[in-house]
Structure 1
């Protein structure tokens, strides 16, 4: 009978299949490193690196960073990967304790996973990525021995079961721009959506970067770009008769690159490059970063979240109308 260890492994195999896996930025097409292994090879290397010395492994440092980045998007993919690369060292121990102490092996394994997840949540801030894997393993081992010594104790699988289920993620809905209209007070969702888009379009026009936005829109209309348009359509759940095409929704973050360099991110955060590196080494950087070779890349979505900039859903019509108004009607 399959237990939670098996279900974690099956879920990850279903996600990645035989496709190449990128642990640096999550997308092999955006990564500066061009050779990527399949998940089976990646997993074998990660397990070996974890057993040898996870604190000194760049691979595990990148895995932890990717897990934190996915957390910001409400995506459990890389948490599953981290667990899948940890649980092999749980199997033999849990089997031995189950046999020696005559306790239910499936319940104990569920308790070990739940404990590892608790450690994951508790180390989100203030703990350097290089130490997270070993803390998860140590806590799970201690849980297994406590479970064996107190066989009558009951542990719930609820946390672990919830972890396997898809998580819901709600996007922010407020655009921080000066206006006499408070969008939160608007009851008509379509009107609020339109105002958000027009404000962002006007802002982009004033910043002098609307030519690039127009190029992005042309690509959407021609079907050459997709971004997260389909996700935005599903998330908006709006039906407005005045828009040109309901498939031309997108997230504001689609206008920006997925990742930028640490120096550029530090400028946005108004700190020095050296200060950013010190915070990363101390495990105190306010959000996770991706390790690519000897350098770091910062997720733009994570940076937007840190700066409290909502990743709003917009439509090309609203963006262009707002830009047209800001330009005085000159296209």
Structure 2
């Protein structure tokens, strides 16, 4: 009979299958490190590294970072991967406790997973990534023995599915406007959307970066790139009459690389790279970073969120009109 451990494993394998897995930036094609194992091999390596010494494993440091980054996007994929690579160590102890105390095995295993996820939430800030895996395992073991002795735990196992949803504790903050215009005060959403896009296009033109946007526009018009166009349309629910195509919305972050180096990110944040490294090692960096070999990579979306830079939904027509106006060209 399938239990919670099996369901976690099936969920993860359904996502990855036998495809290569990138734990560095989440995208095999975009990763500078070219060797990526298929998920079965990746899982085996992660289980082995966790048993030997998760606190000194770069693989586990990368896994924890990817889990945190996915949490920011409301994606639980890497959180499930982490569970899938931890729960094999739960099987033997849960079986022993169930037999020794004549307790319900499924209840014990569900309680262990719930406890591990509780630790995952509690260690989101202030705990170095290298310590997270061991804390999850230790707490799960303690809960298993507690359940065996008393027949209950402080964790409501019937609500375990709640832990697979995006964290409600994800960081939230206000965002900076792209200009002095307060778009929230404009009653007509179409007008607010148009002004936002045009001002962003004008900004790109003035900074000399509009060519990047032009190339991106050509690719999504030709169907060679989709970026987050579909997500943007769904999120905005906007469809103005005076636009060329309602499918040509996108997020401004689509124009940027997915990740930048730690030095560049630290410069944007106004701190020294050495200070950023110390904060990462101490688990006190304000948002998760990815690990690629000996280097750290910073998610641009996470950096924008921290700097309170609006990741706006824009339409290609508005961007191009704004850039055209800023260039001084008249039709």
The verdict on a shared fold, with TM-score over 0.5 as the criterion, is: yes
TM, length-normalised to structure 2 = 0.93
Aligned partner of 1:226 in structure 2 is 226
* Aligned equivalents of 2:53, 2:112: Cα separation in 1: 21
Structure 1 residue 148 corresponds to structure 2 residue 148: yes
CA contact (8 A) 2:146 2:152 kept: no
Q: Unaligned 5+ residue runs, structure 1?
A: none
Aligned partner of 1:16 in structure 2 is 16
TM, length-normalised to structure 1 = 0.93
CA contact (8 A) 2:202 2:319 kept: yes
Aligned partner of 2:179 in structure 1 is 178
Deviation at 1:167, TM superposition (A): 7.8
Aligned partner of 1:263 in structure 2 is 263
| Paired positions, count | 330
Distance 1:6 1:241, change over 3 A: same
* Aligned equivalents of 2:299, 2:151: Cα separation in 1: 45
Q: Unaligned 5+ residue runs, structure 2?
A: none
* Aligned equivalents of 2:287, 2:107: Cα separation in 1: 34
Deviation at 1:170, TM superposition (A): 12
SS of equivalent residue, structure 2 residue 297: strand
Deviation at 1:274, TM superposition (A): 1.2
* Aligned equivalents of 1:154, 1:165: Cα separation in 2: 20
CA contact (8 A) 1:265 1:303 kept: yes
Deviation at 1:20, TM superposition (A): 0.5
CA contact (8 A) 1:172 1:311 kept: no
SS of equivalent residue, structure 1 residue 28: coil
Aligned partner of 1:193 in structure 2 is 193
| Higher deviation after alignment, 9-18 or 151-160 | 151-160
Map Cα deviations across residues 4-46 of structure 1 (whole Å, 9 max, x no partner): 2111111101111111100011000111111111100000000
Distance 1:100 1:236, change over 3 A: same
Distance 1:223 1:288, change over 3 A: same
Map Cα deviations across residues 257-286 of structure 1 (whole Å, 9 max, x no partner): 011111111110111111111111222111
* Aligned equivalents of 1:174, 1:321: Cα separation in 2: 24
Map Cα deviations across residues 89-133 of structure 1 (whole Å, 9 max, x no partner): 111111111122122222221211111111111111111111100
SS of equivalent residue, structure 1 residue 260: strand
CA contact (8 A) 1:174 1:312 kept: no
CA root-mean-square deviation = 2.2
Aligned partner of 2:68 in structure 1 is 68
